Amino acid sequence: MPEWLQKNENYMPREDKDTFINKSILSFLALIARIKAQDKKEDRFQANAFFRVLFTLMLVVFVSVSRTFSFIYLVIAYLLLLLCFMPGREIAKILRTGLVMTLFTAIILLPTVFYGNTYSIFIIPVKVLVSIIAVNILSYATRWDQITIALKRFHVPDLMIFILDITLKYIVMLGEFSVEMLYALRLRSVGKNAGKYNALSGVAGTLFLKSRDMAEDMYAAMECRGFTGEYRICQKFRFGLADAAYLLINAGIIYIFIRLY
Amino acid sequence: MHIPDNYLSPATCAVLGAAMVPVLGVSIKKVKEEISKAKLPQLGIGAAFSFLTMMFNVPLPGGTTGHAVGGTLIAILLGPYSACLAVSVALLIQALMFGDGGILAFGANAFNMAFVLPFVGYFVYKFIRDRVQSEKGEIIGAAVGSYFGINVAALCAAIEFGLQPLLFKGADGQPLYCPYPLSVSIPAMLIPHLLVAGVVELLFTVFIYAFIRKVSPGMIYEGAKKKSKAVYGLIVALICLTPLGLLATGTAWGEWGMDEIQEVITGGSALNYTPSGMANGFSFSALMPDYSVSGLPDAVGYIASAVVGVALVIIIFKIIAAFKKDAAAKTKA
C-alpha cells in the first residue's frame, strides 16, 4: 500500500457561501411541483373553464375600475366563499401570495400619507389582494389544459396555443434537467467555490444548448406523427348545473357593479 | 419588474396592450420568415428557457443572491423577434397560470419586458458588435446591451407608474392608482436597477454568452449579415419610446412644463428655479395641449392621443418603407 494512503488526514472543507445553488434548486423544484400538481387534479364540481376564465377577467376589470368600497367588499365575500370549497393547503398558498403582495403594496404606499393621500393607501392594497386571490383561485382550481381549451374557444390563434402548450411541458422537462445539473454542481462544490459564475453559466448555458436539441427532437417527433400544429377541441361543450349557478352569480355581480358605480 | 394589477389604471393597461398587438404581429411575421417550420417548436422551448432563466439565483457580493430577467440574453441567442414572443408567452403563463404579475397589466409588463428590454438590449449589442469586430466586441456588446436593456425597461415601468397620479384622479383629487409622480417613481425604480439589478443582468448575460460562444458558437443568432446603420438602431429605440413619450401628458422626463421644472430633483435636491431660457422660450402647446382633448374626460383624450400617435408612427414608417422600395428599385434598374 502506498505510504500516502496510510497517513491520517483531517480535511475540513473551507466554509463558503454557496446559497445560490440551494436557492436555485429550491426555486426550480417549487416550479416543477406547482406544474406537476396539475396532473393529479380531479375535476371537481365546477363550471366550464371557458366561463371561469371569462368571468375572472371581468371581475379583475370591475375591481380595478370600481371606486366604491362596498362593491369590493361584496367581491371579497364572494371570493372567500369560493375559497371555502378549496383544499386547505391551496387556500393557505393563495392567501399567502395575496397577503405578501398586499403588505408589500401597503409599505410602498405608506409615504403617500404625508401627501394627504388617504384613498389609495387603503383601497389599492385591498384591490391588489382581491385581484390576486381571484386569479389564483382560477389557476389553482382549474386544470391548465382546460385553460388552453378555453383560450381556443376565445379564438386565440393556434400558433399561440401551440407555443403555450410546449412551453408548459418543457418548463418541467428543462427544469428537471437543470435540477440534476445543479445537484451535480453541489456535489462537486466541496469547500471554497472560486468560480461561482463559471459554474452557474455552465449550468444555464448547457440548459440553452439542451433546449435547442430538444426543439429539433420535438419537430422530428411531430413530423413522424403527422401533427401540423393545428388544434381541434375534442371535448363537447356541456352546460350543467354548475355552469348555470356560476352564470347566475356572475350576472348578480354585474348587476351590483352597475348599480353601485 | 412584474407590475401587479391595480397599480396601473385599466386605461393605461389597454393602451399598452394595444401597443403590443402590432409588436407581436410583426414578431410572428418576422419569426415565420426567419425560421423554417422545422424550428417552430423552438419558440415554445425558447419560452420555457426564458421562464427558467428567472429561476437561477445569481450570487451577489456579501453572500446574498438575486435573479436576472435574461431578456437581452434571449434576444442575443434567439434573435429579438423570437425573444419578444418567447418572453411574452413566459409572462402570459406567469400571469394566467401562476397568478404572478397582473392579468390586466399583462400588456404593460409585456411592453416593458418582452418588447423594450430585448429590443433595446439586442440593438445596443448589435451596434457594438458590428463596430468592434472581435470576441471582445461581442462580449462588451452583450454587457452594455443587457445593462441598457433592463434599465430602459425599468424607466418605462417608472414612467407608467409616474403618469398614473397625473391622469387618473377621483372627484376629490386623490389619485386612484399608483399615487407617486414621476419625480418619485423614476428614481425609485432606476436607482436599484442601475446599482443592483442591472449588474446582475449584466453578469448573468455575459457569463452565459461567453460559455455558449466557447462551447457551441454556431448556436448564436446571426441576424442580418450587413452592418446595421446607427440610424436604424436609433429608430428602433425611438419606436420603443414613442408611445411612452406620447402618453406622457407634459411631464415625461425631460419634458417638464415651466411650472414643473423647479420641482425636478437632481442629485436628491429639487431644482427650485426655472431656467430663464425656458421661461421665455417658445411654447409648443398649440395643437393638443397636454394631449387632452377639451370636452372629453382626460382618460379618453389620452387614449385618443395615443392612438393618433401610434397611427402616425405607423403611417410614417409605411411611407418611409414605400420610398425605400422605390429607391431600391431605382438602384437595381
Q: How far apart are CA B220 and CA B306, in angstroms?
A: 37
Percent residues over pLDDT 70 in chain B: 64
pLDDT tens-digit readout, B301-310: 555 555 555 6
With CA atoms as reference, report the closest residue to B87 among B124, B55, B58, B52: B52
Grid look-up 416550479 returns: A31
Residues of B in contact with A174 (CB under 8 A): 45, 48-49, 52
Mean pLDDT to the nearest integer, A95-111? 85
pLDDT tier, B147 (very low <50, low <70, confident <90, very high otherwise) = very high
Bridge partners (DSSP) listed for residue B269 = B266
Q: What is the pTM of this model?
A: 0.74
For residue A130, being part of any structural domain is answered with yes
pLDDT tens-digit readout, A170-193: 888 898 999 999 898 888 877 777
Mean pLDDT to the nearest integer, A102-127? 79
The answer on A218 and A151 residing in a single domain is: yes
For residue B327, being part of any structural domain is answered with no
Average pLDDT, chain B: 72
Q: Which 3-state string (H, E, C) describes chain B?
A: CCCCCCCCCHHHHHHHHHHHHHHHHHHHHHHHHHCCHHHCHHHHHHHHHHHHHCCCEEECCCCCEEECCCHHHHHHHHCHHHHHHHHHHHHHHHHHCCCCCCCCCHHHHHHHHHHHHHHHHHHHHHHHHHHCCCHHHHHHHHHHHHHHHHHHHHHHHHHHHHHHHHHCECCCCCECCCCCCHHHHHHHHHHHHHHHHHHHHHHHHHHHHHHHHHHCHHHCCCCCCCCCCHHHHHHHHHHHHHHHHHHCCCCCCCCCCCCCHHHCEECCEECCCCCHHHHCCCCCCCCCHHHCCCCCCHHHHHHHHHHHHHHHHHHHHHHHHHHHHHHHHHHHC
The answer on A55 and A34 residing in a single domain is: no
The answer on A225 and A151 residing in a single domain is: yes
For residue A132, being part of any structural domain is answered with yes
For residue A1, being part of any structural domain is answered with no
Ramachandran quadrant class, B2 (left: phi over 0; alpha: psi -120 to 50; beta: rest): beta
Report phi then psi at A143, rounded to 5. -70, 140
- Highest mean pLDDT: which range of A47-56, A157-166, B53-62, B213-222: A47-56
The answer on A72 and A101 residing in a single domain is: yes
Residue B301's domain comprises 10-322
For residue A111, being part of any structural domain is answered with yes
pLDDT of residue B11: 82
Q: Which of residues 161-200 of A touch B (CB under 8 A)?
A: 162-171, 173-175, 178, 196-198, 200
Least confident window among B30-39, B57-66, B292-301:
B292-301
Q: How many domains would you assign to chain B?
A: 1
Q: Which 3-state string (H, E, C) describes chain A?
A: CCHHHHCCCCCCCCCCCCHHHHHHHHHHHHHHHHHHHHHHCCCCCCCCHHHHHHHHHHHHHHHHHCCCHHHHHHHHHHHHHHHHCCCHHHHHHHHHHHHHHHHHHHHHHHHHHHHCCCHHHHHHHHHHHHHHHHHHHHHHHCCHHHHHHHHHHCCCCHHHHHHHHHHHHHHHHHHHHHHHHHHHHHHHCCCCCCCHHHHHHHHHHHHHHHHHHHHHHHHHHHHHHCCCCCCCCCCCCCCCHHHHHHHHHHHHHHHHHHHHC
- B180 neighbors B188 (Cβ within 8 angstroms): yes
A235 touches chain B (CB under 8 A): no
B104, pLDDT greater than 80: yes
pLDDT of residue B281: 42
Predicted ipTM? 0.81
Average pLDDT, chain A: 82
A69 touches chain B (CB under 8 A): no
The answer on A206 and A156 residing in a single domain is: yes
For residue B57, being part of any structural domain is answered with yes
With CA atoms as reference, report the closest residue to B72 among B216, B256, B289, B220: B220
Grid look-up 422537462 returns: A173
With CA atoms as reference, report the closest residue to B12 among B83, B102, B91, B95: B102
Least confident window among A84-98, A220-234, B178-192, B288-302:
B288-302
For residue A9, being part of any structural domain is answered with no
CA distances from A105 to A99, A121, B146 (A): 10, 9, 28
Mean pLDDT to the nearest integer, A82-99? 84
For residue A95, being part of any structural domain is answered with yes
Q: Which of residues 86-115 of B touch A (CB under 8 A)?
A: 89-90, 92-93, 95-99, 102-104
Least confident window among A119-123, B86-90, B276-280:
B276-280
Cα dihedral B146/B148/B151/B157 (nearest 10): -100
The residue of A35, A38, A118, A135 whose CB has the most chain B CBs within 10 angstroms, and thus the best one to mutate to test that interface, is A135
pLDDT of residue B237: 53
pLDDT tier, B145 (very low <50, low <70, confident <90, very high otherwise) = very high
Tell if the CB–CB gap between B97 and A67 is shorter than 8 Å.
Answer: no
The answer on A158 and A137 residing in a single domain is: no
pLDDT of residue A189: 79
B280, pLDDT greater than 80: no
Tell if the CB–CB gap between A19 and B63 is shorter than 8 Å.
Answer: yes
Facing residue for B41 by CB, picked from A24, A138, A218 = A218
The answer on A155 and A221 residing in a single domain is: yes
pLDDT tier, B313 (very low <50, low <70, confident <90, very high otherwise) = low
Mean pLDDT to the nearest integer, A196-216? 85
Residues of B in contact with A112 (CB under 8 A): 179-180
For residue B3, being part of any structural domain is answered with no
The answer on A219 and A196 residing in a single domain is: yes
Mean pLDDT to the nearest integer, B281-295? 43
Tell if the CB–CB gap between B96 and A124 is shorter than 8 Å.
Answer: no
| Cell output for B212 | 455558449
Residue A105's domain comprises 48-142+237-261
The answer on A190 and A138 residing in a single domain is: no
Q: Is B182 exposed, middle or buried (0-12, 13-18, 19+ CB in 10 A)?
A: buried
For residue A104, being part of any structural domain is answered with yes
Report phi then psi at A126, rounded to 5. -65, -45
Q: How many domains would you assign to chain A?
A: 2
pLDDT of residue B292: 45
Q: Is B225 exposed, middle or buried (0-12, 13-18, 19+ CB in 10 A)?
A: exposed
For residue A10, being part of any structural domain is answered with no
B121, pLDDT greater than 90: yes
Ramachandran quadrant class, A10 (left: phi over 0; alpha: psi -120 to 50; beta: rest): beta
CATH assignment of the domain containing B15 = 1.10.1760.20
Residues of A in contact with B170 (CB under 8 A): 67, 119
Tell if the CB–CB gap between B63 and A168 is shorter than 8 Å.
Answer: no
Q: How far apart are CA B229 and CA A103, in angstroms?
A: 48
A258 touches chain B (CB under 8 A): no
